[in-house]
Amino acid sequence: MTTGLVLGLLIGIVTGTVFLLILRAANRLADNGKSAVVTFTAQLLSLPTFWVGGPWLTGRLLRQVDLAAFYQPYVIALLLSFSCFSLYPAARWIIQVGDEMGRAR
């Protein structure tokens, strides 16, 4: 259980930071053209892959951990840490994009 909580917090903070960096780079998408939109989408879609296992789950570190007892605390800690870390900036970015789209009409 402790392993799930600690790893969930760690992965949530790391992916929250990566998510914020992706959002910061997304502000410059209009200048970079359509290929930047594809890159942005691919980067966003890669985050859940890392959450549900990615390369770290099959490594030697977690072979001795009971996965049945690991997942529930992991998911709860991941959800809380990622949400607390990136929910407000993401909401502000979405509102900003909506305002820019509204002004463009």
Q: What confidence score (pLDDT) does residue 58 get?
A: 58
CB 88 within 8 A of CB 23: no
Report the phi/psi class of residue 59: left, alpha or beta, with left for phi > 0 and alpha for psi in -120 to 50: beta
Query: pLDDT tens for residues 69-97?
Result: 888 998 899 999 999 988 898 898 889 88
- pTM for the model stands at 0.74
